[in-house]
Amino acid sequence: EAHSPSLVGVGSAGMASSPCGGGNLDCGLEIQTRSVEQTLIPLVSQITTLINHKDKLKKTEKTLRAIQRVGQAVSVAVGRFVAVGEAIAAENEDLKDEMGLACFEARRAGTAIAQLTDVSSLEQCEGDGRSTVFSDRTGMVKAARMLLSSVTKVLVLADCIVIKQIISSRNKVLVTLEQLERVSTFQEFVQIFSQFGNEMVEFAHLTGDRQNDLKDEKKRARMAAARAVLEKCTMMLLTASKTCLRHPDCESARINKEAVFQRMRLALEQVIEIVTDTRSGGEAKALPVSIYAGIKDFKVKVEGLRDSLYCVSCEAVAAQLEALMEKTEDFTDSAYTSHEQREIIIQLCQITRQETKQLINTWRHAQSLKAKEATDEMELSILKTGQSVSDLRRELHRVAVGRATELLKLHSDHLVLQALKASGGDGNLEAVADYAGTLTEHKEQLVETCRLLCHISGTEPLEITCIHAEETFRVIGPQIISAAQTLALHPTSKIAKENLDVFCEAWESQLCDMAILVKEINDVFEGRRGDKKTYLSLPRPGKHSANLKTVKAAKLDAEEQTTIAKLGLELCLLTSDVDSEVERWDEQDHEMVRLCQIISSMAYSMYLFTRGEGLLKTTLDLFHQAEVPLLDEDRILILSETEKLSDVCQQLQVCAKTPVQGKSAIFQKVDSSIQNTKGILTVVVYLLPICNKLIRKCKSERSCVASPQHWREKQLNTTVSEETLNGKGSNGFGVKSLEQHMANLTFLESK
């Protein structure tokens, strides 16, 4: 039976799960992206098919022909693959030698596999004494190892070209950024900023595609945070620079501008650190251990005692508990934690200490008896200790989320920002100073709350998002104050007023992001929709319609409201059906699962819209959301349903892009959009269990004569045309072309 192992790297660890018989292959390469991994998996599957045949396989003519077809298919696919790799080498002089050698080794390995699988007849197989897959298993393993090593190296080298382009794009942005910082006239600024805008768009395309392709969730979260900073800072840079040019002698304007440039440089540096997997300071910076992570690790050690009483020392468990208790001081020492909450946390910490002490006593007693497994008394202590730390985590979660919810409600009216704008516009420096003190206090509250949320967030990507939120509040608070001071010094300046507005909008936007973050943390804690895939085509609220005329809101009558509410509820129920079907799949990383999760997430956003909740605030947001990409027919197993699905998707796109005017027409468009989305989900719910069943059946029936169709067609079935050699069109081996990197994402998709 063929396998599709998860490739975590190309080295001894990465190849340990390969079909290479446990060989210690280490070419110093690590697979960072999904595209490279997904390209390798089918090849690994085909090689496994050839190697893992039964030693006493019955050599029928049918079996021999099948093995020969697989070997020839691998050889032909490798030939096409190498042709593309050689074309890439010709265009990149600095990688030419290394790429050329990898291509040569891949071609040689492919030829060896074709020769070893040339067993077209029984007589030839048994009579001519030539080495075959049956007689020279070691030779086949050696050829397979060489092929996987060389193909992986070609892929990773090709990926290096993408990384180089991101670095080159960053360097161009940095050069232009320095020019912008030194300009002294508006005319010069406008000219350079236009160039800067084009370079930032290119950088956004490249980094957005890279973000989606990264395997590591923490890196994706860090990339999203860095790109969010660049998105917001681009507008800040524009207004802060204009204000400085208009008021060149204003110290607060200079401070405001310098802070924006510094933050952009740090974000650009962070992107490069993620892409190149290095840090400017040398060693990688580890995330501070959160209480959630500490509790999780502590429970793993405690529950591991059931398997072995000697896997960890009593002192180590006791020390880990005390480190955990020390971190709870972030909650108990906070000036914003109520007396009642503080007492409950301290009490739960004491209970946890007592239960752990009792566990250690029973553990030592069991060890003194030379017990091989946990005693009944020890089992009870393990359960009680686990329950006590779970109770502690639950209380900390309640405190942190409760604090965040209260603060978000308190700041929802943005009274302090409005007061700063008004005081600045009146030229009242004293009032600005007073309100600046209030904003600083709010900033400290939000910063501390983000730190507490980080402790209980539940996943490392959410921890990174909490850290990003904390840093954003810490930086933007003083920037708002400096912008308000500038306006107070120049109360008639339209540019200074615009600058303050931009920074206040960034603060409000971060509050909205924090509300979403709190909901995601709650979802993870309660086990619902916490890991829902993001629909990446969704822009941030209102951003995409910034240049459109404002449309007067139309109030729906009772009947229309009822109709939309009913449609929304039906949509919500269908998303639950899709999620339920998806959860039954064994391969949660399967492309089918990913696509269905995206569609379900899109539909759930529409449901929230019908309730007046979520990210979709206007009908324009809804229609933009409905511009769902057509599903690739090759990925659907039932042709009739595929055609139906494609038709409904097409209808949804046409509906979403058709301009309408007037209340009745807009209502009809909303109704049609939701109806068509319902139709898509209905087909998806029908297809999911059938596809799942077929995939399982295919796996169970797959033997050493498995078809090479998947590898041949999906990854390497492309002729090396003149366009391909010139860098146009598909590159033929699964690494996205540079044109694709430029085509899809904008700064609006940084979430």
Q: Residue 257 has what pLDDT?
A: 95
Q: Which residues of the chain have pLDDT under 70?
A: 1-30, 49-60, 119-136, 279-288, 528-562, 565-566, 569, 573, 576, 589, 591, 611-617, 621, 623-644, 693-751
- What are the contacts of 328-331 at 24+ separation with CB within 8 A? 328/291, 328/392, 328/396, 330/451, 330/452, 330/455, 331/396, 331/399, 331/400, 331/452, 331/455
Is there a contact between 699 and 1 (Cβ–Cβ < 8 Å)?
yes
Give the pTM.
Answer: 0.64
Q: What is the DSSP letter of 377?
A: H
Q: How many CA atoms lie within 13 A of 125 on its CB side?
A: 20
Q: Residue 696 has what pLDDT?
A: 64
Q: What is the DSSP letter of 133?
A: T
Domains of the chain: 34-120+135-161 (1.20.120.230), 166-276 (1.20.120.230), 291-402 (1.20.120.330), 558-700 (1.20.120.230)
Q: Tens of pLDDT along 624-664?
A: 666 654 443 334 345 556 666 777 777 777 777 777 777 77
Among 414, 203, 253, 380, smallest CA distance to 306 is for 380
Contacts of 362 (CB under 8 A, 6+ apart): 375, 377, 378, 381
Q: Residue 721 has what pLDDT?
A: 34
**Which residue intervals of 527-618 are DSSP H helices?**
558-583, 591-610
Q: Residue 625 has what pLDDT?
A: 64
Q: Residue 260 has what pLDDT?
A: 95
Percent of the chain at pLDDT > 90 equals 32
Question: By three-state DSSP, how is residue 515 classified?
Answer: helix
Q: Tens of pLDDT along 423-454?
A: 999 999 999 999 999 999 999 999 999 999 99
